[in-house]
Structures are given as structure tokens and as C-alpha cells.
Structure 1
């Protein structure tokens, strides 16, 4: 089975946190993708993420997925450690992965400061696990959404998933080279660092929707915040390329890998200013819903309530 641990198993993992440390501002919690530790008068924010799918651009995604979680927590990504597991000693695979990682880290201004690499023949494909770290003045949690806040989404649903479909599954898609090329170009939009820097000034909560896409990201935010997100599906931006590829492969744009979009909640009085600030930075964004008080946390999408984490639609395509 591919995917995240079920809630009961995950709860056991999250309950085992080692020695108590009063400098920990945010430790392991459901829905929170980054930890925060007070160091002097600042916060050190850290997040780890593994990737083994999307093989053609594994190095690109590995850097951005880790850095996005740090940025979505209010920090500027600054350092990375890199752990690589390779199924064989193919030098082309190693060169492609490490070149991708180096290029993306340089583009972000992030230093790769260490890690580990080894051959693991039991694997069918390479695996990369990155830990990103950065400094923040204030931590922005996933679980900070408050009743009355407006829900914002940058760029659109299924950005990462669209690029993965255009590369890993190109042989199964009967589309023009132009459309597939545009969809593959979504890999260049995976970073949410720019919009996170804008929104952290006003956001009550931010989250980087990855596995399970926008729906799962919203479930995690709602659960962590103890609220209900009421979402208007028609307000969720979905690009033409995403619509076309998802329809061809029978997957939901809101339920496939969502890196490249930033989910945020902001006070109603600051919503227009936040959208204007994003527009000034050249980041498209939309208001897609509202946060409501609820004893039954979850995400209501056009009236249908989703309470539990979902499995990413793309996993069935790999199995």
C-alpha cells in the first residue's frame, strides 16, 4: 500500500517524542508539517519529507516539498540535508538527481549542508528524503484557522500532480506535445516560498497541500484548527491542462498532489489586502471559502463533508 499512515497508527508515532525540551514551540502534531524550536530570540523551523515517485523530476520535487513546508510555517528556508537511497549504481540516475537538487537549491538560495547516500537494492526506484531548515520571527501553524477567516488558495489545484501526469504517464496520454509540454512546465511553479513571504504577515494558518491534494490539505487544516472549512468548488482555480489530463486519467484535480499551491486563512478584514499583495508579487490567488465554528471539524465542499484524510488519486495509477 502506498501513502500516509492511517490516523490510529500515526497517533502512536506522534505520541513518542523523546525527551522534554522547553525550547520546542511546535512539536509533532497531526496536520503540522514543520517543527519550531526557540534558539535565542528567533525560531528554528525544520521539516523532513521523503519522495520516491515522480522519478523524472524527483530531485526537483524533493527540494521544493521540504522547503515549502518551512516557508508555509513562516520561515525563510536556508539549509537542507539530503538523504538518497539508490536501487543500483547507475551514474546517470545519481547525476540527474543531484543536479536537479543543486539547481533548485541555488535558485532558492538554500545551502545543501550534508546528508547521506547509499545503494539499497531492495528498492525499485530512487528515494530522496530532505530536511529543510530556516529561521522565523513568528511561527504560522496549520492549526491556526479561526471562525470568520477567509480561505485563500494560490495558483491552483493539482499543480504538482499535473506535472507528474505529463511526465510519468505521458505514454498513456493522447495529447499534443504542446499541451504536455505546458503541463510539464508546472514543475517550475512548485515553490510557494514567494507567496508564503507575502501571506505570513496576515495569515492565521498556512499549509502546503501535497499528498492527497487540496482536499487532504484542507482536511488537515480543519482538523488541526478544530473548525470547518466551507469551500465553493467553483471558486477553486483549476487550469486547463490540469482539467484535461485529470479527465483523461480519471482522477480528481482536487485529490492529486498539490505542491505549488499555498492554502491560507486570513482575517476577513485583511482578505482584500492579502490578495492585492499577492497580485503585486505576480502570484495569482483566489478566495475559495470561509472558516466556520464547528464541533465536527472537516471540509464541506459544496455541502459534502470530508472529515478524514484521503488517499491520493494518483496512487492507483502507480499500483
Structure 2
């Protein structure tokens, strides 16, 4: 996918910036300077199998994904557009269920869904939901701003979405049902910004496709820094650990749909953590590591027994069609 984007898409789309963060940066969205503020714009296509899963559905996934891409760039969501591509014969009752879920999720932020497009096709695709969002930021935040000495936080348990979907597909059950974490996280990001100021949040990432591992590696590579994370500090639910072992999948490499990886100035780390924990979606937040000057462009995982190894980005998607 990375090769396709860099070698095909970027090479053929040359007018790719509106004066701010543009396509070449491959961030969670783009910024458009507008006076003393910036518009932030993002778009994403959502395909998931099954379309209804424990903890959510494709509608909640689509709205949350777009809101979260805006949030991690420091932008308050203003409006969303939605495009539905639906296979002929798709059940109207299921479509209504998806639309109601989108509406409820949008009200949770709140952010209005103001325009859209609908296509019905003969192909056996089920339903694809494409959402675009626009927000406004006083100080846009990229995923490339990490500085040596900074501290790395994650807003909650990781691996919930990808492992929940894979367990559901494979029919693995637990006493406590695994559920996706899919949710909009603007409230978590805003709580931290209110507590420590936007200027002390140096980088953020929405750890969706490729999970925590991919997000951290992108942040390290773009900022040309090393990132050291401690395995024992990374919050993972026991049932996610158990399912990961049964399925042979690393929870570090699967999608999360309701979390933020945040890198902040060291002196504000505890305040940022406290602000996260005061929110409902951030109650399991944790400080998981720091930014270092060694191993630039790499992520180092310190294991529970004191060893260290590289936490490599995933070579492929271990759980396809989850976001």
C-alpha cells in the first residue's frame, strides 16, 4: 500500500497542497490556511466485514473515523459529508440502521452531516461508506512533530477493534464479549488541549490501519527520532491478549477506532494523562514511553523481562476489511 501511494498516486498528483499540510505529508488530513486559523480537511473510505459487529457498525465507524482524523490534527469538527455506495437489493432496514447509527454518532460529537451522495450498483459489495470532514484549528498538529525528550501517551486499551472483529469472524467467545472501541475522540483531545495548551501537544496519530505499531513507526520516521515504548505500560485487555494468542495476531498491529496516540512535552505529560483519564473514553489512558535520540526512525519495545527489540511496522494487514 505504501509503495502504491508513493510510487503511483503521489507521482501523478503534483498539485497537492493548498498552502498548508498537503498530500505529500501523508498525514491524517490536509490543512488550508484561512486568516489566523486553518481549515482541516479529510476523507476516508470505510469497508468492514461484517457491517454490524460487536460494539458498532459501519455507520459508527465512518463518522468516528472522520472525526478522529480531524481531532488528531487539532481541529474541531465542523461538518461531515457522506457518500454511500450500496449494492442492488441491499436491505432497506439495514440501511436505516446504519444511517441511525451515523446520526447518533454525529450527535455524540456533535457534528452535522450536511451533504452527501448515494449510488446503487450491481456489484456484490454490500455497502461502502465514504465520509469527508472539515474542521477548524487554531494551531494544526501534524504527526511529524515529536521531539527528543517528549513523552508518548495512548488514550486507552489497544487492539480492541481488530481483535474483536477477528474473534467474531472466527466464532471465538469469552465470558466478557470482546467489543470494538469505535468512537469519536474529539472530547479526549480537547480535554488535553484545554489542560496543557495546543502548543504542548507536539504530535498525534489515529492508530487505525496497522495499529499502534504502524502509528509509532510513522511518527518516528517522519520526525527522524527514536521512540522507546515499554511493553508493560501499554494497556491491553486480558481478553484481547488471550484472543491475540489464539489467533496468532499481534494486538500492536491491528486497527483501533477510538484511540489517540499523543506525544507531548515531558513537563506536561502527567497533566495530559490526568486530563485523558477524566474523560469516559480516556479512563484507561497510559504513558507508554518517550522520544529518544538513538535509533532514529525506529521504534524500540522494552519487553517485560528487560530485553529490547524493534517494533516493526506490519508488512501487511493481519485483519483485512476492518476499517
Sort the TM-score into its range (normalised by shorter chain): 0.7 to 0.9
Q: Aligned-pair distance for 1:92?
A: 2.4
Kept after mapping to 1: 8 A contact 2:88/2:123: no
Kept after mapping to 2: 8 A contact 1:47/1:133: yes
Unaligned runs of 5+ in 1: none
Q: Aligned-pair distance for 1:306?
A: 4.2
Tell me the equivalent position of 1:198. Answer: 191
Tell me the equivalent position of 1:50. Answer: 45
Tell me the equivalent position of 2:9. Answer: 13
SS where residue 274 of structure 2 aligns?
helix
Give the aligned CA root-mean-square deviation in angstroms. 2.3
Tell me the equivalent position of 1:81. Answer: 81
Kept after mapping to 1: 8 A contact 2:84/2:130: yes
Map residues 26-105 of structure 1 onto 2, 5 A cutoff: 26-54=21-49, 55-56=51-52, 57-90=57-90, 91-105=92-106
Deviations 1:100-154 (A, max 9, x none): 1111112211111112111222243311111111111000110111111111111
Distance 1:290 1:255 in 2: 20
Kept after mapping to 2: 8 A contact 1:30/1:220: no
Distance 2:2 2:269 in 1: 35
Give the direction of change, closer, same or farther, for the CA distance of 1:173–1:308 in structure 2 (3 Å limit): closer
Tell me which of 254, 264, 275 is aligned to 1:277.
275
Map residues 99-138 of structure 1 onto 2, 5 A cutoff: 99-138=100-139
Unaligned runs of 5+ in 2: 303-307
Distance 2:164 2:239 in 1: 9
Map residues 124-203 of structure 1 onto 2, 5 A cutoff: 124-165=125-166, 168-169=168-169, 172-176=171-175, 179-180=176-177, 183-184=178-179, 186-187=180-181, 190-200=183-193, 201=197, 202-203=200-201
Distance 2:174 2:276 in 1: 33
SS where residue 144 of structure 1 aligns?
coil
Kept after mapping to 2: 8 A contact 1:50/1:130: yes
SS where residue 139 of structure 1 aligns?
coil
